Amino acid sequence: MGREMLTNSLVELDRQHLVHPVSSFRGHEARGVRVLRSAKGATVTDSEGRELLDGFAGLWCVNAGYGHESVVEAAAEQMRRLPYATGYFDLGSEPPIRLAAALADRAPGNLNHVYFTLGGSDAVDSTIRFVRYYWHALGQPDRDQFISVEQGYHGSTTMGAGLTALPGFHDGFGVPYAWQHKISSHYLYRNPLGDDPQAVIDASVAELRAKVAAIGEDRVAAFYVEPIQGSGGVLVPPAGWIKAMRDLCTELGILFVADEVITGFGRTGPIFASADEGIVPDLLTCAKGLTSGYVPMGAVIMSDHVYEVIAEGAGAKAVGHGFTYSAHPVSAAVALEVLALYEGGIFENGIRAGKRLMAGLETLRDHPLVGDVRGRGMLAAVELVTDKTLKTPLPAEMQPATRLFDRAWEQGLVIRSFAQGIFGYAPPLCCTDEEIDEIVARTRKVLDITLDDPEMRAVLR
């Protein structure tokens, strides 16, 4: 079969049978799938042979880059030797034990106990169960109220989607539940208080304090936060915000959960972004970069005191939470090899490339469509507006998400294109200087083409 025929038949099969995550089913049927065939480094190749720079590392996960033979070898070797071992019945296998120890060694403070999941959503969901169990074990079962942050994303399970604060994950699903509360996001660019960092920190602290008081001081179980809000549009809090929220949770006696599914594994520089402000969460979730996306895996890392309270509370009883594929040996073998690559130079490269990326994106500020540039390390966003003074978002009827994504694709660039007209960047940490410069240059091209779009001209001030 020729390449084009093969692609056509795949598009048709996909249309008929494959349900895509977070997609308009009808919109996807109309647009059809774009099939990727192979990848190397930071470049992906589609089924027609078109090469694109992956400025989003798949779904902010392929932090090490594509095509590392040593990772393939680690997976193959583990599959040959022992493709599966359960963690139930006191059984185990070597890779997840070594990986748990390696993560405990590198995680902040006393985060020393690792429960492995299959990805980020079930890691978040697991924390909800562990947090509830923790308070039951302490004899405070009424602490069953959870607080998270507007614009936050904490996955797509039924319980996690209610902590998530993006309407698309709520509408039609009957969440959030009454026990899931939110406080405002820091969203500096659009914060009604302006962009004075201390004013924003003070306001968030006051809001969380007031929220806890309103719910009842002895009712709140935990506060969830992403060190940088990812799916909400790459919203970077002012320096000191995370630390202020952590300190307040300590003062109020509620658990602090850092959701590092995106920010983990070098995305902002250090292995965990919690280190950026020297905080130690009570529980930390991670996934994505843990295996660099080569195979599925996530983790909950819990502090000594959370673990101890649960252990003591359960006594000889089993803590009834488990997945068949928790601590999967092949995923763990991959994660160990990926960690070796990260620490063998990729983290370091990511720090260098991140500075170049931020400096490059900053040069786009002069463009008539660019309202804001923000980010940290290899996690960044460019927010488009039609009026810089009024910060007017691109009109929804222009369907900026698909239109701008398509335009970037035409320029050989894969980026995240958020619904409200925000470009998201999370390139593999292995990017060369030339690749970073290309990401910036191609973005400018997309901006110029968009500026020439007659529909855009009509709404531009």
Binding region for ligand PLP (CB under 6 A) = 119-121, 124, 153-155, 226, 230-231, 259, 261-262, 287, 298
HEC-encoded secondary structure of 254-268 = CEEEEECCCCCCCCC
Beta strands in 120-240 (DSSP E): 145-149, 180-183, 220-225
Write down the least CB distance from residue 374 to ligand PLP, Å. 17
* Nearer CB in complex with ligand PLP: 157/184: 157
Helix (H) or strand (E) holding 165: none
319, 300 Cβ separation under 8 angstroms: no
Q: How far is CA 346 from CA 340, 353, 354, in A?
A: 9, 10, 12
Phi, psi of 229 (to 5 degrees): -75, 120
Q: Alpha helix (H) ranges present in 185-328?
A: 197-215, 241-252, 304-314
Write down the least CB distance from residue 397 to ligand PLP, Å. 27
Write down the least CB distance from residue 236 to ligand PLP, Å. 14
* Nearer CB in complex with ligand PLP: 230/400: 230
* Nearer CB in complex with ligand PLP: 356/374: 374
Phi, psi of 254 (to 5 degrees): -115, 150
Write down the least CB distance from residue 149 to ligand PLP, Å. 11
* Nearer CB in complex with ligand PLP: 233/269: 233
Write down the least CB distance from residue 373 to ligand PLP, Å. 21
* Nearer CB in complex with ligand PLP: 371/377: 377
Give the residue closest to ligand PLP by C-beta: 120
Please classify residue 151 by burial: count the beta carbons closer than 10 Å to its beta carbon, then call 0-12 exposed, 13-18 middle and 19+ buried. buried
Residue in this structure with the two tokens 């978040």, named with its chain if needed: 124
Write down the least CB distance from residue 410 to ligand PLP, Å. 26
* Nearer CB in complex with ligand PLP: 60/369: 60
* Nearer CB in complex with ligand PLP: 128/287: 287
Residue in this structure with the two tokens 């923000």, named with its chain if needed: 374
Write down the least CB distance from residue 227 to ligand PLP, Å. 9
394, 33 Cβ separation under 8 angstroms: no
